[in-house]
Structure 1
Amino acid sequence: MGLVCALAMSAHEKTFPPDFTFGVATSSYQVEGGIENDWAEWERAGRLKEPHARCGRAVDHWNRYEEDYGLALDVGATAFRMSLEWARIEPERGRIDGGALNAYRERLSRMKARGLRPVVTLHHFTHPSWFHRETPWHLPQSVDAFRAYARACAPLLAGLDALVISLNEPMVLLLGGYLQGLMPPGVTDGPKTMAALANMVRAHVAAREELLAVLGRVEIGISQNMLCFAPDRAWHPLDRALVRLGAQAYNHAFHEALVSGKLRVNMPGIGSAREDIPGARGSCDFIGMNYYTRAHLRFLPRAPFLSFQYRDPRGRGFTDIGWELWPEGFGQVLRELKRYGLPVWVTENGMDDRGGERRPAYIHDHLSQVLTARAEGVDVRGYLYWSLLDNFEWLEGWGPRFGLYHVDFDTLERRATPACHYYKEVATTRRLPPVIQPSAAR
């Protein structure tokens, strides 16, 4: 939205309601440490952008979780998103580790006792080492494997009033792992991508059934990465067509399958899926969305038929990872979610800001879009900043810094960034004050 537009909002529009949730987000592999899974194998194979990078101890959240809960409370958070690590819970197929279950139950119980609502992700990109060999996503057995895992996890959630995310960013996993071969399992196969997509929809349905059988009721959905797409050449009809196809396939196909029961995907040059998934209709209780940036699409006359670029046509600059600063796109995709008639949770939104000074303005501009979307009738219930801590950022390794708290990766000391004060002010006052940049303050 930008500062001028935000300042023009009325006092009412600049206020968040008392029941709006401000929280923080993490994922197990990126923060816990000491995990052996498919990503650890990927790292040893030298498949990251920095071939020698290793997650290893991560930022030792496994041992420092009480400290990190305190840091979340210090920025005004009342919800904490974390994920369960399938590889800890089922290190060998069919063998459930009771010690890991007890450890996660203790962490969730302490989180709840300290006033943080658990937002629990069952699957955040990683798999046990056996999964891709024995039950890969493109085979039907994957659904049974995920069902068994969800059944083991269900008792952990009893009495916690947890918001549950079955799958984090399934389209990122599918495009990165099944089409481009950039992340585990390293496949480059269009038909397998489509088969895996359908099975992941079925896996969500299976997980929901298992949780309901144990808990009686549950709020469950997925967390979908959503991009704002724009034509690289506004005048070009094929660029504009790619934008429509991209938004439908990438942003909406999975959620539409969970709402309507009908999986409809068409990705020219890759594959298509057209299936009715039993049990999928009405199988999500909320829409979870992650937003970071905008992508410009250009049609190419030969394979791969499109280019995907981050550009800066307005001259606003990029985040340090190279993504366009485009909060308007956040508002756009929030408004698109109104079609589902379900509550919306922003399960990730954040900025790689290695200097730490630009993040308050980023948070301001994106929360301004949340307020505008709410004023236009989008039922946004909560906002979880990604991430509480600097952490291991997948293929990028240790370079990016998304954390509200800066982490010294040698000593593991957590240190507040300027965004901590700003986020706490918003979360505790329910208002969105303007940001005074350091240069202006001087």
Structure 2
Amino acid sequence: MGTNEFPRGFTFGVATAAYQVEGHIENDWSEWERQGKCKDPNHRCGRSVDHWNRFDHDVQLAKEVGSGAFRISLEWARIEPVRGQVDAAAVDQYRQRLLRMKAAGIRPVVTLHHFTHPQWFHRETPWHEPSSVVEFRRYARICAQILRGLDALVITFNEPMVLLLGGYIQGVIPPGIADGNKAMLALGNIARSHVAAREELLRESGKCEIGISQNMLAFRPDRWWHPLDRALTRLAFDNYNHAFHRALTDGELRIQMPGLASTRQRIEGGRDSVDFMGINYYTRAHLRFVPKPPFLEFQYRDIHGRGLTDIGWEDYSEGFSHLLVELHHKYGKPIWVTENGIDDRQGQRRPQFLYNHWSQMLSAVRQGADVRGYLYWSLMDNFEWLEGWGPRFGLYAVDFETLERRPTPACHYFRRVAQSGVLVEPEQVSEPMKSEDSMPTVAPSTVAL
């Protein structure tokens, strides 16, 4: 393999999440928005980008950029809007869509839990209660029926540490709790729910690879000379990046967040309960100790003069290879990059961003990391949680009024590399997508599937 060649069988693809793209979902996040708790209280997901009605068209968009895999999530609130009552039509729709995706030559990558919950969940069986594991097991059993025979890559939970910190420490996302003890109970139950889901998936759906997607950050002490900044950086690296991965490889959940929360729990069945390590990588955080809870501040700094991304994050591709190599050395398992992307509202920085991160990924591969695939976040612009409609992560730009999807300059570059398996610099790919083999830029007619 040449230095610019991707491994044989390497998969390029794209990622989405149900609530952010499907539209017309009533769940805990839609309740959160009605309470005005997004950064802009006027933002509502609503119809989102209507992916529910444009699914086949969007699968074709993914195919046009060379995707061999497409990550979607199943929406628990669609499947079980009332506790114990399954919507059979929604279950059938998800299965039929995944069958069509596979028939189109694209491997399904399916997330069971991507932040959202049915509206009954936090009120009746919240994560800090043992009943949550029972409920998630039942939901996973339904998902396993959807996935039967599809040879899908299955992600049980997306970014559990983000859910923990945002929902149970800071209280800025659902369920809006700020309680360290409940946070530790919740995280333990989420780990047990992964184990329960794995059991149901293997029993019902046959062959599939099962893991999680863990948001991982590069960390740096804000003041190199300050011992407490350095200590915070070590703690953050271990707790944030590795605590959940470790719970599902050696079976013990260990977290130490002085002044906030700590735990040490055995996770029955957790040892070696993932087939791959999923990593979502975006940026680096600079940590500074402050003498009051939560005892740290973090910020993004433009150390290399590349300019912060439009959401305000550091563009730090070097951290990508370091984390991939560390995952390889710590766990020795196959790795999937389940998210990586840039908020680029003018659409001009994305090709170079891809080149830089793909270069770092290949560097990690040369150092032994078994990276099997890369999924770009996201196929198209969508509703970005608390940030609402501001960020633009899509390979395809979306007009949020007309819902028209338009290729950004990154589309042709992504396709060139994905189809050839050879990394070239963006300047070497100047030819736009040809009209006869690109998707129309006019929004398709809405067809209820």
Q: Would the TM-score normalized by the shorter structure come out above 0.5?
A: yes
* 1:356 matches 2:347: yes
**1:409 corresponds to which residue?**
400
**Mapping of residues 291-306 of structure 1, within 5 Å:** 291-306=281-296
**2:33 corresponds to which residue?**
43
Checking the alignment, whether the CA contact within 8 Å between 2:43 and 2:388 is kept in structure 1 is: yes
For 1:94-136, what per-residue CA distance to the aligned partner results, in whole angstroms no more than 9, with x for missing partners?
A: 1111000001011100100000100000000000000000000
User: Aligned to 1:83, which of 40, 62, 73?
Assistant: 73
Amino acid at match of 2:288: R
* 1:285 matches 2:275: yes
**Mapping of residues 51-62 of structure 1, within 5 Å:** 51-62=41-52
Distance 2:285 2:197 in 1: 32
Q: CA shift at 1:218, angstroms?
A: 2.5
Q: CA shift at 1:438, angstroms?
A: 11
Distance 1:304 1:207 in 2: 33
Distance 1:157 1:272 in 2: 36
Checking the alignment, whether the CA contact within 8 Å between 2:239 and 2:256 is kept in structure 1 is: yes
Amino acid at match of 1:362: F
**1:347 corresponds to which residue?**
338
User: Aligned to 2:384, which of 381, 390, 393?
Assistant: 393
Q: CA shift at 1:335, angstroms?
A: 1.2
Distance 2:429 2:58 in 1: 27
**Could you list the runs of 5+ residues in structure 1 that have no partner in the other structure?**
1-10
C-alpha distance 73-435 of structure 1, shift in aligned 2 (>3 A): same
For 1:345-391, what per-residue CA distance to the aligned partner results, in whole angstroms no more than 9, with x for missing partners?
A: 00000000000010000000001111000000010000000000100
Checking the alignment, whether the CA contact within 8 Å between 2:159 and 2:213 is kept in structure 1 is: yes
Q: Which portions of structure 1, spanning 4 or more consecutive aligned residues, are displaced by more than 3 angstroms?
A: none
- TM-score, normalised with respect to structure 2: 0.94
**1:100 corresponds to which residue?**
90
Q: CA shift at 1:437, angstroms?
A: 9.8
For 1:268-313, what per-residue CA distance to the aligned partner results, in whole angstroms no more than 9, with x for missing partners?
A: 1111110111100010000000000000001112222111111112
* 1:20 matches 2:10: yes
* 1:216 matches 2:206: yes
* 1:267 matches 2:257: yes
Checking the alignment, whether the CA contact within 8 Å between 2:149 and 2:207 is kept in structure 1 is: no
Distance 1:294 1:390 in 2: 23
* 1:117 matches 2:107: yes
For 1:141-196, what per-residue CA distance to the aligned partner results, in whole angstroms no more than 9, with x for missing partners?
A: 11011001001111111111100000000000110011101100000111111110
Checking the alignment, whether the CA contact within 8 Å between 2:151 and 2:207 is kept in structure 1 is: no
Amino acid at match of 1:306: L
Amino acid at match of 2:348: E
Distance 1:304 1:288 in 2: 28
**2:123 corresponds to which residue?**
133
**Could you list the runs of 5+ residues in structure 2 that have no partner in the other structure?**
431-449
Q: How many residues in Structure 1 have an aligned counterpart in Structure 2?
A: 429
**2:164 corresponds to which residue?**
174
* 1:246 matches 2:236: yes
* 1:225 matches 2:215: yes
For 1:26-77, what per-residue CA distance to the aligned partner results, in whole angstroms no more than 9, with x for missing partners?
A: 0000000010000000000000001010000000000101100110000000
Distance 1:263 1:431 in 2: 40
**1:163 corresponds to which residue?**
153
Identity across the alignment (%): 67
